[in-house]
Amino acid sequence: MATTTGWNTIESDAGLFTELVEQLGVKGVVFEELLSLDPDSLRALAPLYGIIFLFKWTEAAVKSTADGRPLDGEYDPEAEQTLFFAHQKIQNACATQAILSVLLNRKEIKLGSSLTEFEAFVADFDADLRGETLSNSDLIRLVHNSFSRPVPFVDETHAPRSAANSADDIYHYIAYIPIAGKLYELDGLQPFPIRLDDSTTDENFPEKVVEALYRRIGRYPEGEVRFNLMAVAKDPRDLLLAVGDQEGYMREQEKRENWKRENVLRKENFVGLIAEILKGVLGSSVENQESFEKLIVGAKDRSAKRRQSEQRRKLMSQF
């Protein structure tokens, strides 16, 4: 099981995010992975609450201009008074923090009692104290960690990843939301919310956010494909029932059942079973337990990289 002493890494997965927010008490929200970046694909998901963007962190992609402005848009310090914006304090918490940046800023979302209480508690805090409060929330951390994969072999000599260590691949989540006629980028590593546009509505949000995302992706070298996009939208099942679309409703139900099965498997540790099978197959070819463990870890890493590469290839093939 996931440790409860810190924040663990979780995958960028639509089914995982959907069940995560449900366990936090949120009703009527679904996450959908975007395999094409065009306004029509986003409009098909309406009502659309926001976008979660996962990217590889590089200094060049997040640095400010020489006069201290963001590379795109403008810092909006006054927005902290009306938006939920928190500074990121824990590296592994950025996925859940980006999700909350959408949920707590869209008032039509039914948050449930726990997040409603959290929202009220931090309402008068500044971004720094909100980040500290979020990082120390036992409820949010425990739900987040419940979706992390078990780690069978722990190398306690491995230093934590940091931006200063260029050998590490560091990934980061940010949120894009349309609020009060403006398009905002909410990034917990930035000092303030970034206002990207002053004429954004729910209706033209797909066009405006696609333009912003293309500008953002354009900061990376040609050929970089390590991006993931997730739409945060209204669960369509109630509407499908209301219009009598039983076939569409059943498709959505089946999708959620598949997500639940995947999330159960995601939390399990099958290393012991795999080890026994491989021992029988390999026999004496594995000379000792240490080399055998290295074989398992190497195989898991290669499989994860293949899955990630395929997901990014599908997304970037649309650009």
Residue where a domain stops, chosen among 219, 235, 251: 235
CA dihedral 106, 109, 115, 119 (to 10 degrees): 30
100 and 185 fall within a common domain: yes
Is the pLDDT at 40 greater than 90, yes or no?
yes
125 and 222 fall within a common domain: yes
205 and 294 fall within a common domain: no
Nearest of 11, 26, 194 to residue 114 by alpha carbon: 26
What are phi and psi for residue 150, nearest 5 degrees? Answer: -60, 145
151 and 205 fall within a common domain: yes
The predicted pLDDT at position 315 comes to 54
The predicted pLDDT at position 160 comes to 37
The boundaries of the domain holding residue 169 are 14-235
> Once rounded to an integer, what is the mean pLDDT over residues 140-168?
59
The predicted pLDDT at position 55 comes to 87
Residue where a domain stops, chosen among 211, 235, 259: 235
pTM of structure: 0.78
Structure tokens at 255: 């999708």
Enter the DSSP assignment of 32.
E
Domain count, the chain: 2
52 and 197 fall within a common domain: yes
Residue 166 falls inside a structural domain? yes
280 and 183 fall within a common domain: no
70 and 173 fall within a common domain: yes
The residue annotated as part of the active site, out of 87, 144, 158, 172, is 172
The predicted pLDDT at position 52 comes to 97
pLDDT tens per residue across span 213-236: 999 988 887 766 678 999 999 999
pLDDT tens per residue across span 248-307: 999 999 999 999 988 888 776 555 555 556 556 555 555 556 665 666 677 667 766 666
Is the pLDDT at 159 greater than 50, yes or no?
no
Residue scoring higher pLDDT (254 or 317): 254
Distance CA 195, CA 105 (A): 14
Q: In which band, very low, low, confident or very high, does the pLDDT at 69 lie, cut at 50, 70 and 90? A: confident
The predicted pLDDT at position 184 comes to 98
What are phi and psi for residue 119, nearest 5 degrees? Answer: -60, -45
Residue 218 falls inside a structural domain? yes
Active site residue 87: no
199 and 292 fall within a common domain: no
Angle at 231 between CA 229 and CA 235, to 5 degrees: 150
pLDDT tens per residue across span 166-209: 445 788 999 999 999 999 999 999 999 999 999 999 999 999 99
The predicted pLDDT at position 157 comes to 36
The SS3 call for residue 184 is: strand
Residue scoring higher pLDDT (59 or 176): 176
The residue annotated as part of the active site, out of 87, 94, 144, 158, is 94
Residue where a domain stops, chosen among 235, 260, 294: 235
pLDDT tens per residue across span 78-119: 998 899 999 999 888 999 999 999 999 999 999 999 999 999
Is the pLDDT at 161 greater than 80, yes or no?
no
The predicted pLDDT at position 220 comes to 80
The predicted pLDDT at position 158 comes to 37
- What CATH number is attached to the domain comprising 209? 3.40.532.10
The predicted pLDDT at position 218 comes to 85
